[in-house]
Structure 1
Amino acid sequence: MAVVRVRQHVNPLANKYKIPANTPEWKKVYAQPNLPLHLDIGCARGRFLLQMAQLEPNWNFLGLEIREPLVVDANRLCSELDLTNLHYLFCNVNNSLVPILSSLGTETLQRVTIQFPDPWFKNRHAKRRVVQPELVTELADYLAVGGVVFVQSDQKFIAVEMCDRFSEHPAFEKMGTEEWLAENPLPVSTEREIGTINKGEPVYRALFVKR
């Protein structure tokens, strides 16, 4: 099978990503659409959610990714494993999050993960970073009270920026007294997290709860 080359960096502000995604019919996607939903923003190859969906069958899982070939491959693998609580969606989260979340049942969204997002190192590219104030507000509008947002990065300045954005919003409260979580609170680690730890490098993690 031919290997599909996928761009590492995708500019979400480019014209080709300005059209919002078509929202699927959730009753055709999930066997039980009303289960609590875990949303993974920037799911890449989707292997993290693939493991989570098998470990937690009483949750639904939705991965959002801007690189379409990764989504196609992830959904193919999901179908082969006959997982009815997992789906991946090709979209630009900057303009598709509200239509997606508004089409789901109220109080459905209960957990969000944003893990190792593209750091876009240059200041002039800061608007391309996924965690913008608008995204935080949209999550605050749709996340159930008591729901959580877990963020992590191997770039401290990105982790600090993400934490600042969530801390500045009155709907979110950072959990724990330490600056960074020593351990991942979830039962599955991403490939990037495992690779970073194996190299002996730090991972900056934080957990927020919706008031």
Structure 2
Amino acid sequence: MRIGVITFPGSLDDRDARRAVRAAGAEDVALWHGDHDLAGVDALVLPGGFSYGDYLRCGAIASLSPIMSEVVDAANNGMPVLGICNGFQMLTEAGLLPGGLIRNDHGAFIRRDQRLRVENTGTAWTNGFEAEQEIVIPLKNGEGEYVASAETIERLEGEGRVVFRYVAVNPNGSINDIAGVTNERGNVVGLMPHPEHATEPGFGPDTTAAMRSGVDGLTFFTSAIAALQAA
């Protein structure tokens, strides 16, 4: 399987995402925001960072990059697409996911190992988890408060399209503790925490077993591979 990771000006976690793809057993493919070519990949990751310096709104300029027209077409045709942090912001700005992300309610950048509850295991990126499983994924953002209209929130909740919720602490004021959502089809997922930073022992969050041993993020990428193999 070939999973593409798109680099935008200001991307910070593209190499981490590519390393996570390799750790899961797939081939990582570097893609460039200015191209109109997905290089025949089977899935896509839009990584975290500060694309275009977060001018206008986070992800707004990146959502208009040349390659995003291909991303939108691929997503609408069923390709698995994962947006992480800044990538989540891009997906909302591009209209692939509902809602939007605004400045954290406390007005400060936050970095923490965040507990999440898996609410939806029916997506291309979460099929390897168990329902209501709690995982720990690093979080780092200044504009991570998820917002949407009351009607949109009611629809997301009613349709089971909230994929992750913050547990114990809501780090940014997101409505209903929402940490990640999916589209109707379940192939596009966006979340603020960074699963690519929890894929290798020695580099992830602390666990009761050992420091930096958390690898809950690896399941995102193995789930995508399983979804592609089952298709």
State the TM-score, normalizing by the size of structure 1.
0.39
Instruction: Say which structure is richer in strand.
Output: 2
TM-score by length of 2: 0.37
More helix per residue: 1 or 2?
Answer: 1
